[in-house]
């Protein structure tokens, strides 16, 4: 199979991948970004971004578009919505095959596939997605005007979105698996003082039930083992994120117990010439700013690696 | 108007005309929100691959979008966007919330074979 040659191939077009693309193409490295979805990654899934330094307030869509245009302006090639067929990480020449037919080779790879919202993976979740189950309060909140809803989770997103959803819903019940929240204290306080919010602690959702749309949930109390059914109009799920590293499970790239990529101080994986950046990494803080920083460092190290070899 | 490179449906009359004059039509009705943008993006990419399908978007908050919001096939939908596929003016498939490129492609292949 004939391959198109690049210096650096970046897999993933979120903030880490786009930043790596900006730095490497500006350094005159022939650079390709491939993404299995929309360019922008999780930025696209964010309505308002108010804490990106230098930008007072913008939408995720707009910030992603700007970063994409910046990368393109320096000559970076970008392919979105592709099917990743295979990646060869070993050897001096790395290769990436997409859509079962197109092969690209490079001297270095930057793995920047980001993360995704975690699902509960319980019966009925797929069936009622968009029919009562949502992962985006700002998108779907207004469908639940004067309705009763559940928010699942105990982190900042869950608590803040629960408060935001009281603008529409008549009642919001937060269901959380522990007896305490992981969210910042001010977010917990805001939720606790809201008269429309109540709490079901130390409990799991076990199943979603309904016909055309969601009608009830099955809840299990983890302490007593008691199982109850609750009539409900909607459920919003905010139970964290997981790395998009499914593709690496059969590869020799070192992952931690949560399937996150392990890198050294130079953002290089255990495979020479393979770097990683952004939410695919094993790290604590996952922000656009940290992804941008990761992408910068990974790109600079990849450039140095190529020049050295 | 939605900031996409797709053709837009802006009125009920235009909607009726599109359905009358095109055999295969896909309309995504949404906002410029997190769950909608990836669908528009996938449609823009798929437009080249499916020249026999007419791709459109429509603003969910446009009053004339009742033609989609109130479709019986969209009953029970509570997630943006509402995406509807038409064959000879009749709804053959409707989806709610985010669908990825592969999921959309699968529907196009099943409903609008070349």
The tens digit of pLDDT for each residue in A217-263 reads 999 999 999 999 999 999 999 998 899 999 998 899 999 999 999 99
Name the residue facing B37 among A38, A134, A234 (closest C-beta).
A38
Contacts of residue B31 in chain A, CB cutoff 8 Å? 139
Do residues A279 and A116 touch, judged by C-beta distance below 8 A? no
**How far is Cα B35 from Cα B83, in angstroms, rounded to an integer?**
12
**Looking at the domain assignment, is residue B73 inside a domain?**
yes
Q: Domain total for chain A?
A: 2
Q: Domain total for chain B?
A: 1
Q: Which residue of B has its CA nearest to A82?
A: B101
Last residue of a domain, one of A189, A212, A237: A237
Find the domain containing B57 and state its range.
Answer: 7-111
Name the residue facing A129 among B37, B79, B80 (closest C-beta).
B79
**Looking at the domain assignment, is residue A122 inside a domain?**
no
Q: How confident is the model at residue A3 (pLDDT cuts 50, 70, 90)?
A: confident
A 10 A CB-CB count for A229 gives 13
Alpha carbon of A136 to those of A40, A125, A130, A164, A278: distances in Å? 17, 15, 10, 11, 22
Last residue of a domain, one of A178, A208, A237: A237
A 10 A CB-CB count for A283 gives 17
DSSP state of A93: S
Which pLDDT does position A47 carry in this prediction? 79
* Angle (nearest 5°) at CA A287 between A43 and A298: 95
Average pLDDT over residues A23-30: 98
**Residues A7 and A154 reside in one and the same domain:** no
**Residues A233 and A255 reside in one and the same domain:** no
**How far is Cα B40 from Cα A289, in angstroms, rounded to an integer?**
26
Which pLDDT does position B104 carry in this prediction? 97
**Looking at the domain assignment, is residue A151 inside a domain?**
yes
Alpha carbon of B113 to those of A267, B77, B103, B107: distances in Å? 46, 27, 15, 10
Structure confidence by residue, pLDDT tens digits, B65-101: 999 999 999 999 999 999 999 999 999 999 999 999 9
Verify whether the Cβ–Cβ distance B96 to A130 is below 8 Å: yes
**Residues A140 and A175 reside in one and the same domain:** yes
**Residues A77 and A166 reside in one and the same domain:** no
- Whether the per-residue pLDDT at B50 is higher than 90: the answer is yes
Name the residue facing A139 among B34, B76, B100 (closest C-beta).
B34
- Interface contact B103, partner A, CB < 8 A: no
- Interface contact A138, partner B, CB < 8 A: yes
**Residues A71 and A211 reside in one and the same domain:** no
User: Residues with Cβ < 8 Å from A272, sequence gap 6 or more?
Assistant: none
Find the domain containing A204 and state its range.
Answer: 133-237
Do residues A274 and A255 touch, judged by C-beta distance below 8 A? no
Verify whether the Cβ–Cβ distance B97 to A134 is below 8 Å: yes
Q: How far is B94 from chain A, CA to nearest CA, in Å? A: 12
Verify whether the Cβ–Cβ distance B77 to A131 is below 8 Å: yes
**Residues A70 and A109 reside in one and the same domain:** yes
Question: What CATH number does residue A145 fall under?
Answer: 3.50.50.60
């Amino acid at each position: 199979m004939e391959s198109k040659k690049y210096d650096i191939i970046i897999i993933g077009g979120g903030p880490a991948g786009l930043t790596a693309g900006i730095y490497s193409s500006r350094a005159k490295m022939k650079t390709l970004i491939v993404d299995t979805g929309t360019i922008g990654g999780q930025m696209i899934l964010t309505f308002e971004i108010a804490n990106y330094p230098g930008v007072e307030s913008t939408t995720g869509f707009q910030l992603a578009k700007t970063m994409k245009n910046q990368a393109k302006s320096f000559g970076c090639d970008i392919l979105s919505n592709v099917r990743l067929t295979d990646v060869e990480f070993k050897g001096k020449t790395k290769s990436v095959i997409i859509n079962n037919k197109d092969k690209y080779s490079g001297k270095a790879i930057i793995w920047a596939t980001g993360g995704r919202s975690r699902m509960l993976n319980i019966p009925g979740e797929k069936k009622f997605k968009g029919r009562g189950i949502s992962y985006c309060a700002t998108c779907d909140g207004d469908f639940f005007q004067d309705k009763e809803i559940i928010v699942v989770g105990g982190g900042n997103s869950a608590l803040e979105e629960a408060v935001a959803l009281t603008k529409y819903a008549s009642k919001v019940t937060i269901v959380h698996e522990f007896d305490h929240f992981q969210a910042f204290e001010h977010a917990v306080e805001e939720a606790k003082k809201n008269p429309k919010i109540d709490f079901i602690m130390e409990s799991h959702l076990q199943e979603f039930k309904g016909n055309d749309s969601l009608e009830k949930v099955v809840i299990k109390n983890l302490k007593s083992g008691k199982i109850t059914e609750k009539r409900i109009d909607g459920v919003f799920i905010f139970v964290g994120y997981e790395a998009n590293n499914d593709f690496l499970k059969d590869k020799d790239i070192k992952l931690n117990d949560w399937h996150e990529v392990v890198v050294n101080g130079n953002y290089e994986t255990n495979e020479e010439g393979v770097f990683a950046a952004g939410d695919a990494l094993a790290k604590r803080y996952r922000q656009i700013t940290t992804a941008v920083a990761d992408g910068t460092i990974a790109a600079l190290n990849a450039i140095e690696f190529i020049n050295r070899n | 108007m939605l900031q996409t490179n797709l053709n837009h449906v802006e009125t009920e009359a235009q909607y009726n005309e599109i359905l009358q004059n095109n055999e295969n039509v896909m309309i995504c009705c949404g906002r410029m929100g997190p769950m909608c943008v990836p669908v528009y993006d996938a449609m823009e990419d798929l437009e080249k691959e499916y020249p026999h399908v007419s791709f459109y978007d429509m603003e969910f908050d446009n009053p004339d979008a009742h033609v989609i919001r109130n479709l019986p096939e969209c009953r029970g939908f509570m997630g943006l966007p509402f995406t509807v596929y038409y064959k000879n003016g009749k709804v053959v498939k409707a989806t709610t919330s985010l669908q990825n490129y592969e999921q959309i492609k699968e529907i196009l292949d099943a409903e609008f074979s070349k």
